[in-house]
Amino acid sequence: MEIGIVGLGRMGANIARRLMKAGHSCIVYDANPKAGQALAEAGARPVSALEAMVEALEAPRTIWSMLPAGKITEEIIAALADLLEPGDTVIDGGNTFYKDDIRRAKALAKKGLHYIDCGTSGGVWGVERGYCMMIGGPAEAVKRLDPIFCALAPGLGDIPRTPDRGALDPRAEQGYIHAGPSGAGHFVKMVHNGIEYGLMQAYAEGFDILRNKNSGDLPDDERFELNLPDIAEVWRRGSVVSSWLLDLSAMALAKDRELSHFSGHVDDSGEGRWTVEAAIEEAVPAEVLTSALYARFRSRQDHTFGEKLLSAMRFGFGGHVEGHEGGEADPAAASAPPTAAR
């Protein structure tokens, strides 16, 4: 298939690369021309403006926006709405607030355009591992683009199949689902990220407790000098707390057990706050997720070892640089991805 991709940052560029590797054609645009030129070497066709992208694509067109939530995404989608024709589709693959998706879908539907919200998880390793996708929008539009989603998804891999799935949607086993109508995809991804906050905080606090077992405030015979890299590694092997986040923690600790390159400043990109807001609206207790969000707020004031581990994990899976939420990571500084997906 042919698709336009707007926004060639960490994930946008890798989405284009994975699609081209699967045989799809990508017409790409970014405000920074160098980003498009870099993808041209991989087979993409860069353009210098949205108008040129729309002109180059054959109807029915599909354009995937991979930009930060907020003003820039609003502006790009509004511009595309004026350029596209009835039957064309806009996909927002960023971390947009789901209520904005509902509003946009209604506005674009008045022009005969399809709007799909695609919660996309996979970080900087998605180009190799594949992307977990949670998709919202009209069923027929999602179905037409199944070859795109299938190419981006990780596939079955070596993960054991869940018993008794029988009549359930087979796409979930491949790593993507049609979650529901417009907004549902980003809502599921929003809660996914809220859970991510809680999981990361649990690891961070646990390793902080381990590290401080040699505290001078403890009796001499109760002090242990524990080897955190070894503990992280052994927990990866058969433990019930094994996960990709633990893999990333083990990699970071093996490289530098003091995490001296991290200050412990932990940003939040919005989804955690929105998850807590949704919990309040639904009157659902969410103590862990709320506490994890507040811990990130506190991390910007003083930094513990646990907060350094949070920073290390965020850098590992998403290339997030402390204090520069939208900044690009230095690829040379990132560790190699784990060989086995979980």
Residues 6+ apart with CB under 8 A from 150: 174, 176
The catalytic residue among 140, 189, 258, 322 is 189
* 143 assigned to active site: no
Angle among Cα 204, 275, 340 to the nearest 5 degrees reads 50
Residues 102, 103, 105, 106, CA torsion sign = positive
The catalytic residue among 143, 196, 205, 282 is 196
Sheet with 132-136, side-by-side order of all strands: 45-46, 25-29, 2-6, 62-65, 89-92, 114-121, 132-136, 176-180
SS3 25: strand
Q: Which stretch of DSSP H or E encloses residue 192?
A: helix 184-211
> Which two tokens mark 198?
């809680």
Q: For 308, list phi and psi in degrees, rounded to 5.
A: -60, -40
SS3 267: coil
Residues 6+ apart with CB under 8 A from 146: 171
Angle among Cα 208, 230, 209 to the nearest 5 degrees reads 15
Which residues pair with residue 120 across a beta bridge? 133
Task: Please state, in angstroms and rounded to a whole number, the distance separating the CA atoms of residues 282 and 266.
Answer: 27
What Cα–Cα distance (Å) separates residue 142 from each residue in 58, 82, 91? 18, 22, 10
> How large is the greatest C-alpha to C-alpha distance in the chain, in angstroms?
74
* 189 assigned to active site: yes
Task: Please state, in angstroms and rounded to a whole number, the distance separating the CA atoms of residues 61 and 59.
Answer: 5
**Residues labelled as active-site residues:** 189, 196
